[in-house]
Amino acid sequence: MQIVTRFICLLLLLIPVYTIAQTQTPEPPKTIHWFGTWEEARKDSVAKGQPRLIYFYNHRARPCKVMQEQTFTDPRVIALLSEFSCAALHNEVNRELAKRFQLVKVPTMIFVDAQGNMIDRAVGTKSPDEFVLYLERMKRASDEAKAAKKQMDAFTKTPVDFLRPGKNTRPITLRYTDPGAKKVAIIGDFNDWREPGTPLVRNPNGIWETVLHLQEGVYEYKYMVNDTEWKQDTANPLAQANPFGNANSVIIVGNAKTSPIIDGRNVSFIIYNTQAKKIEVAGTFNNWQLLQMFRNPNDAGMWGVRYENLVPGRYEYKFVVDGEWTADAENYTAVSDGKGNWNSSFIIR
């Protein structure tokens, strides 16, 4: 009898512990779980019936570092992404997939439904506050689709309202002159390169214009004229080569980092790359002779070198990363070499 009594007492002691354990709120994830391949993310997405996120990145792009260190470490972002099957894919390793999703630049985040169809995108560096807006919209769309209220259709408007003043934004006025144009729109990083773009308004003088309210950063864009013609902004000298063999116009807001750094008649070349073993720079400033660059001891991804006493004029250059010639991703005065390639450039005054 004593044995039975002791057993019952022990059982009663265990029951509350089990109940408490069952009702405790699960601890939120502390990091994002990234799959390293599209196929791994696809299988997880299909098995769980949830959307997936593709984060296209490149270790040469400092904006990707900003996304990884600031946005993807935000607790709100981590919590919301726990409901996605996430894949981090290098754009150069996954060229076919990047082409399929019409990748314009890195970083780019592609939202895909469980069937593999793209439903939204976020192009360029997004602050935690901005990216939360994308994720919340995706969650609403996913919940509505699961509830059979509607299908997860492609979104045509960015959740970030860049046509109105916002937190830490600055007004940027853009104008496009074309007397023969019947319709002009702008497409760029700020509206995630969504067609048909954001319409411009023709003023009484026949000039098309709009005012964008943008946070500090670098933004690429083009005009879409009459719904068919992609046009570079000829009034804007800043440009960056794109994957399609031509160039996008560039807006620099605030003190965004650009390269190279000009100090009088001296120039400092800088490049961000976490995986390179050797980086050199060459250009018209030294008759295209390879000049060794050095890694910053306080930042393993930052390389630099200084070249002094240049005479006034325009110079072109490229980096050579482990033997591969490449334009400067943080230089926004791209110059065509006439052979389908683009060099970076700078001016000594």
Residues 176, 249 within the same domain: yes
Of the residues 187, 220, 253, which one is the last residue of a structural domain? 253
- Alpha carbons 172 and 89: distance in angstroms, whole number: 33
The pLDDT tens digits for 236-271 are: 999 998 888 889 999 999 988 899 999 999 999 999
pLDDT at 110: 95
Residues 54, 136 within the same domain: yes
Q: What is the mean pLDDT of residues 207-223?
A: 95
Task: Please report whether residue 124 resides in a domain.
Answer: yes
Half-sphere exposure of 61 (CA within 13 A, CB side): 18
Residues 100, 46 within the same domain: yes
Residues 128, 48 within the same domain: yes
Task: Please report whether residue 26 resides in a domain.
Answer: no
pLDDT at 62: 87
Residues 198, 236 within the same domain: yes
Residues 136, 49 within the same domain: yes
Tell me: pLDDT of 326 over 70: yes
Of the residues 130, 146, 162, which one is the last residue of a structural domain? 146
Cα–Cα nearest to 275, from 67, 57, 86, 43 = 57
The residue among 210 and 298 whose pLDDT is bigger is: 210
- Alpha carbons 343 and 99: distance in angstroms, whole number: 23
- Whether the Cβ atoms of residue 57 and residue 91 lie closer than 8 Å to each other: yes
pLDDT at 308: 97
Residue % of the chain over a pLDDT of 70: 88
Domain holding 307, by residue range, is 261-348
Residues 247, 190 within the same domain: yes
Tell me: pLDDT of 52 over 50: yes
Considering the chain, what is the average pLDDT of its residues? 88
pLDDT at 143: 67
Task: Please report whether residue 9 resides in a domain.
Answer: no
Residues 48, 133 within the same domain: yes
- Global confidence as pTM: 0.82
Helix then strand then coil, % of the chain, to nearest 5: 25, 35, 40
Q: ω before 29 within 30° of 0 (cis)?
A: no
- Alpha carbons 37 and 104: distance in angstroms, whole number: 20
CATH number, domain containing residue 245 = 2.60.40.10
Task: Please report whether residue 160 resides in a domain.
Answer: no
Tell me: pLDDT of 168 over 80: yes
Residues 248, 300 within the same domain: no
Task: Please report whether residue 163 resides in a domain.
Answer: no
pLDDT at 145: 57
Q: What is the mean pLDDT of residues 208-235?
A: 95
Residues 178, 103 within the same domain: no
CATH number, domain containing residue 123 = 3.40.30.10
Would strands 217-225 and 279-283 be described as parallel, antiparallel, or unpaired?
unpaired
Half-sphere exposure of 6 (CA within 13 A, CB side): 3
Of the residues 253, 277, 297, which one is the last residue of a structural domain? 253
pLDDT at 27: 64
The residue among 162 and 257 whose pLDDT is bigger is: 162
The residue among 297 and 6 whose pLDDT is bigger is: 297
Task: Please report whether residue 20 resides in a domain.
Answer: no
Q: Provide the pLDDT confidence category of residue 174 given band limits of 50, 70 and 90.
A: very high
Residues 235, 267 within the same domain: no
Element (H, E) at 30: none
Number of domain units in the chain: 3
The residue among 155 and 152 whose pLDDT is bigger is: 155
Task: Please report whether residue 174 resides in a domain.
Answer: yes
Phi/psi for 172 (5° steps) reads -125, 115
Tell me: pLDDT of 89 over 90: yes
The residue among 195 and 250 whose pLDDT is bigger is: 250
pLDDT at 157: 80
pLDDT at 24: 54
The pLDDT tens digits for 142-154 are: 666 555 445 445 5
Tell me: pLDDT of 90 over 90: yes
Residues 92, 181 within the same domain: no
Task: Please report whether residue 270 resides in a domain.
Answer: yes
Q: What is the mean pLDDT of residues 205-222?
A: 95
